[in-house]
Each structure stands twice: as C-alpha cells, then as structure tokens.
C-alpha cells in the first residue's frame, strides 16, 4: 500500500511532523520518552490489525490458513524490497528475540567453542548464550565497549584482537540499547567472514531508525523487532538469513525436512494470528512515505534538542557520544550521584514523563527515546523539568 501524507515543506517542518503525529492515537496526557522499549502504531495499523482479526474470527481455519497465510508473501516481498534483499531470505517472526534465538540456538556449537559478544548486549540474548554455556559447555566472552565511544574502529579492533582459533560465533547489536551507540556492523561482519565465523546482528534499535540498507551491510544473519522503530503491531519482527546459510540453522520449532533450505521454516510456530504480520504493511508504508533519511534526521534532531542543553550542565554526564555518526536517536545521561531509578519514578509520578533507568556495572543513567510522534514541545518540557530538578540538587 502507499500512504497519503501531506508533503514535506522544509520551511514549515513542524506542520509536517504534527501531521505525522496526528496519525497516532497516543496518550497525550503524558510524555512518553521510552519508545525504545516498544512503540505505538499509527491508527491505520491498528485498524488493519482489527480488520484482519475480525475477518479471521468469522471462519478461522479457512480464513487463517487459506486466505491470510498466503497473504504473508505480499508482506515478505515488501520487507525484502525495502531491505534490498531476496524475498527468500526474510522470515516474519514475533519479535527480535525469536529471530535471534533461532540463530543463537540453531547454529551448531560444541563443547569448548567460544562466542564473542559485548558487555552491553541485550539481557535475553545473553541469557540465551548463558543457557548454551550451561547446556552445551560453550564459552561466552564479552568485549567491553567504551562509554561513550568516539571512534568506531576501536570496537572492530577489539573484536579482531579477541578472536581465537576456538571462536565459532559473534553476536553484536547494530545499535546498543543502553546508550544508542552505533556498532560498525559491516566491518565486524567482514571480520567474521575472513575467519569463517558467523556474525549474528541484533538490529533492534537500528532497523527503521538508522538510514541504511540491510543489503549494504553484507552480513549473513540479522534480526530485529518491527514493533519498535517501524511502528508495526506489537508481536512482529523479522529475521534475515543469507540464502546459502539457511540450511545451516535449525529452527526453534521443528519444520519438515523439505523446508531445510526454506526461510519459511522459521515461521513453523503452530497456530497463531496472521493479523499482526499482515498489518506490518501499512506501518512500512508510513515509514517509506516519510523516508528513511528524513526519519533518522528527525530522531537525531529530537535527541539533540534535549541532550545538548542537558550536556552543558556540570552535574550531567552523557554516556552517549553526540558526535555525528556515533549514535542513533537514543541517548543516556547520568546526574552525578543520583539514583536513576528514583529520578525516573519521580518524573513519572510528578511530571508524567516516561523514561527508563539503565544500569550496568560500569555506568548507570537514564535512557531517553523519543519517536516520530514526539513533539518539540514535549521534548522542551522534559528539558525544562530536568533543568529545574538539577538546579534544586
């Protein structure tokens, strides 16, 4: 589908972004700056979900399996065209975890094999690897990522130095969920290829956020949720596996042998609603109507709008580099000697502002993630509240 949006007028950008925001029915009595957790969807997506659900409910076995399931192919094609990859390389999953776990559990590893990842990858992915440690006797090695990191090549160098003859897999995020730090995925994927090590990329905060084409990363395994930055229905995600590698990965739930080389084996999950998957289409249409470059620029603009004034404060420490190209529209800051959790609770209870505390052995802070429906006024209000709060410390 194509999305009808008012055209962008560079002299009146806020009129455009207000029109985008009006596509979303969100609770405007609060300021939601935790869109990195999960996002609202635009009205057309919610309506499409409801329509598909209602349609399936009328004659479930017939509509689900004879009508809606074949319609998944249309969505697969749209996702593949957007990402610049082959339609036979895209599976639609229920979230990022499902796609990532298919790779992390599904690639063969033996006792003593090593997996490299970072000290800031997502907890569920770490639990997945740790479960394999307990179950299969593999060894997980984590590489510390500088906070903030100003030079992306430092990260590639650390991975290059950590590879040993026993390294059999690498897991990296494209954008770190804790700080918005960008990871040089293309370089690390090339490093993996050079050493014949599969590199699994967690694209949770990069897909539909950063302006890139999956095809250009030249990686073999990439999974992401679609309910974060694409604003697709909750319970949607995608998994890309390069065609030649599909047969190497066992799916999480068993599929018939004829599907060993078919990307659809990752969708053999038993009875499930098709409505969320089919309603990815209007979410993608909105994303394409806005345009990836414009969306990334807006998310960075929103980040700058709050992060620059806060970064000036003596009591504030930024854990995200604000240098061009270093991070996405997500950023994390700390108020020195203040418990981030207490501040987040206070912001929610007294100011109806939602942000999230981040804790890590090396740092802690407050993560702020606006979305395309966040207004400049909302961001300015957050800044005003924070300036007042810091001045009273």
Ligand X SMILES: Cc1ncc(COP(=O)(O)O)c(C=O)c1O
| Binding status of residue 156 toward ligand X by CB under 6 A | no
Cβ neighbours around 183 below 10 Å, total? 24
Smallest gap from residue 205 Cβ to ligand X (A): 6
Smallest gap from residue 124 Cβ to ligand X (A): 6
- Residue list 335-374, contact with ligand X (CB under 6 A): none
Smallest gap from residue 173 Cβ to ligand X (A): 5
Of 95-103, 240-248, 278-286, 376-384, the window that binds ligand X (rule: CB under 6 A) is 95-103
Interface residue with ligand X among 173, 181, 369, 374 (CB under 6 A) is 173
Helices (H), the chain: 13-22, 43-58, 60-62, 69-83, 96-106, 123-136, 152-162, 185-195, 214-217, 275-278, 280-290, 292-311, 340-351, 376-391
**For strand 199-202 and strand 237-241, is the pairing parallel, antiparallel, or unpaired?**
unpaired
Smallest gap from residue 120 Cβ to ligand X (A): 9
Interface residue with ligand X among 159, 177, 221, 382 (CB under 6 A) is 177
Total residues at interface with ligand X (CB under 6 A)? 12
The Cα angle at residue 113 between residues 110 and 115, in degrees rounded to 5: 125
- Residue list 121-140, contact with ligand X (CB under 6 A): 122, 124
| Cβ proximity to ligand X, 217 vs 316, nearer residue | 217
- Residue list 189-248, contact with ligand X (CB under 6 A): 202, 204-205, 225, 237
| Cβ proximity to ligand X, 90 vs 96, nearer residue | 96
Chain centroid to CA 171 = 15
Do the beta carbons of residue 232 and residue 96 sit within 8 Å? no
Smallest gap from residue 106 Cβ to ligand X (A): 16
Helix axes of 280-290 and 43-58: crossing angle, nearest 10 degrees: 160
Q: Residue 332 forms beta bridges with which residues?
A: 367
Of 93-101, 191-199, 262-270, 278-286, the window that binds ligand X (rule: CB under 6 A) is 93-101
Distance in angstroms (rounded) separating the CA atoms of residues 319 and 335: 11
The token pair that represents 370 in the structure block? 């606006």
The token pair that represents 335 in the structure block? 């108020």
Distance in angstroms (rounded) separating the CA atoms of residues 192 and 197: 5
Smallest gap from residue 333 Cβ to ligand X (A): 18
**Binding site residues, ligand X, CB under 6 A:** 95-97, 122, 124, 173, 177, 202, 204-205, 225, 237
């Amino acid at each position: 589908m194509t999305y009808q949006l008012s055209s962008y007028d560079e002299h009146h950008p806020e009129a455009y972004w207000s029109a985008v925001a009006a596509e979303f029915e969100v609770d405007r009595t609060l300021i939601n700056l935790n869109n990195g957790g999960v996002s609202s969807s635009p009205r057309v997506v919610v309506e499409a979900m409801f329509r598909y659900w209602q349609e399936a409910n009328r004659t479930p076995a017939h509509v689900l399996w004879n009508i809606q399931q074949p319609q998944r192919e249309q969505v697969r094609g749209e996702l593949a065209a957007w990402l610049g990859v082959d339609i036979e390389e895209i599976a639609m999953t229920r979230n990022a975890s499902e796609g990532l776990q298919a790779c992390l559990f599904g690639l063969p590893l033996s006792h003593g094999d090593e997996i490299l990842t970072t000290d800031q990858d997502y907890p569920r992915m770490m639990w997945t690897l740790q479960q394999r440690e307990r179950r299969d006797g593999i060894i997980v090695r984590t590489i510390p990522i500088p906070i903030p990191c100003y030079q992306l090549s430092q990260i590639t160098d650390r991975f290059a130095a950590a590879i040993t003859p026993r390294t059999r897999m690498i897991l990296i995020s494209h954008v770190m969920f804790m700080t918005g730090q960008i990871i040089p995925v293309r370089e690390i994927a090339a490093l993996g290829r050079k050493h014949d090590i599969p590199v699994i990329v967690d694209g949770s905060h990069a897909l539909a956020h950063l302006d890139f084409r999956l095809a250009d990363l030249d990686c073999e395994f990439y999974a992401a949720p679609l309910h974060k930055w694409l604003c697709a229905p909750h319970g949607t995600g995608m998994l890309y596996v390069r065609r030649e590698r599909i047969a190497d990965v066992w799916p999480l739930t068993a599929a018939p042998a004829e599907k060993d080389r078919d990307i659809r084996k990752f969708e053999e999950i038993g009875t499930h609603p098709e409505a969320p998957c089919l309603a990815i289409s209007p979410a993608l249409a909105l994303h394409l109507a806005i345009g990836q470059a414009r969306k990334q620029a807006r998310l960075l603009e929103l980040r700058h709008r709050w992060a620059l004034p806060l970064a000036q404060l003596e009591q504030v420490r930024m854990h995200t580099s604000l240098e061009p190209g270093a991070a996405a529209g997500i950023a994390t800051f700390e108020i020195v000697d203040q418990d981030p959790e207490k501040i987040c609770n206070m912001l929610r209870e007294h100011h109806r502002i939602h942000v999230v505390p981040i804790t890590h052995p090396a740092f802690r802070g407050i993560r702020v993630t606006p979305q395309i429906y966040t207004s400049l006024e909302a961001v300015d209000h957050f800044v005003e509240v924070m300036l007042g709060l810091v001045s009273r410390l």
